Structure 1
Amino acid sequence: MKFLIRVLINAVALWVATVLVDGISVSGDTTAKRWLTLLAVAVIFGVVNAFIKPVIKVLGCAFYVLTLGLFALVVNAALLMLTSWAAGKLSLPFHVEWFWPAFWGAIIVSVVSWLLSLLIPDGAADDD
């Protein structure tokens, strides 16, 4: 259940990013197809964050310390671009054009995910 809630939260956060940031897009003939695409991309985004982000944190620990954590913004943008690339390889119509849309999109996804997670009662979306 927690996994499904996290996927839904990420899908909504990705949708907000597509609405607010030029350069991040999801296409489809119908609204239902766009939401199915966002759900699939949310799963990809979750997998990328679960497996690749910890490796980057360990390898880039010095950059995190040196930049007082601001390097995390660059990493999150790169992970969103990687998610876009993986979605393209799976023929999903989700695209991030380049670094700056990915940068702002990653910030929006993080903030919206955090806010929506606050609304879930009793930590139902936590990864315990």
Structure 2
Amino acid sequence: MRIILRLLTTALGVAAAAWLLDGIRFTGGPRQGWEEVEKNLVPLLIVAAILGIVTSFVKPVLKLLSFPLIILTLGLFLLVINALMLMLTSSLADALDIGFKVNGFWTAVGGSIVITLVTWFVDSFVDDK
């Protein structure tokens, strides 16, 4: 149950980032309303799963290797790591032909901030127990 909740909150964060930032998008034809949600729901859940897997396996290694930079920048380098995780997710989604794109590093930084804030906000209302 916890994995499903985590997947859904990450999917909400990715959806919010795609909605708020022009450089993060799901490719496909222009659609409006419920038709757009139906078209992008499966890719959104797949991207959330890829982001969760990347964050679980690659991020700890990067944090360990960049520990001196994290200390030197008082934790701000974690934004760079989160942006790199989002860019890696975009690359993997592109390789799997899912249709998720992140254009540029600064867009990835903004997207990682949005995803973090949305998941933090949703997690504050959802009880894990």
Shorter-normalised TM range: over 0.9
- Aligned to 2:90, which of 84, 88, 97? 84
Instruction: Indicate yes or no: 2:120 matched with 1:114.
Output: yes
TM-score by length of 1: 0.92
CA-to-aligned-CA distance 1:13-49 (integer Å, 9 cap, x gap):
0000001011000134542120111100000000000
% same residue: 41
Matching residue of 1:20: 20
Q: Which runs of 5+ in 1 are unaligned?
A: none
Secondary structure in structure 2 of the residue aligned to 1:4: helix
Q: How does 1:48-127 map to 2 (within 5 A)?
A: 48-121=54-127, 123-124=128-129
Is 1:36 aligned with 2:36?
no
**Structure 2 CA distance for aligned equivalents of residues 16 and 66 of structure 1:** 31
* Aligned-residue RMSD, C-alpha: 1.0
5+ residue gaps, structure 2:
30-34
- Count how many residue pairs are aligned between Structure 1 and Structure 2: 123
What is the identity, as a one-letter code, of the residue corresponding to 1:2? R
The TM-score with structure 2 as length reference comes to 0.92
Cα distance in 2 for partners of 1:92, 1:70 equals 31
